[in-house]
Amino acid sequence: MTVGELSKKCGFVTVCMPEPDREVSGCYIGDLLSWVMGRAQSGNAWITIMSNVNIAAVASLTDVAVIILAEGVILDESVVAVASQKGINIVSSDVPAFETAMKLGGCV
């Protein structure tokens, strides 16, 4: 399933989606960026509550398909701009990470 399809089916709010046709091939949940760098896989949906600009760098490094911001996290426009420039898809969920993962699992 593509990021665009997944976002629509799960009811996530689009923050930025420069590459809606990226295929999602799994999920990783984590907030410790160094941990995510070593464990998230290319194509994963990454669920986090982190909101600083470093999420764009980690997403680019790991080649995740989309960052899903849990708990209604709102990004600063400068982070959104960097993510858009780097081709990083970001969507938002208003529920905690566990419930976001459950929602994601129900959509696939």
CB burial of residue 38 (10 Å; 0-12, 13-18, 19+)? exposed
Do the Cβ atoms of 55 and 33 come closer than 8 Å? yes
| Segments in the chain below pLDDT 70 | none
Closest CA to 31 of 67, 72, 80, 83: 67
pLDDT for 29: 98
Q: Which domains does the chain have, with CATH numbers?
A: 3-104 (3.40.1390.20)
pLDDT for 22: 98
- Structural tokens at position 74: 């709102």
pLDDT for 107: 86
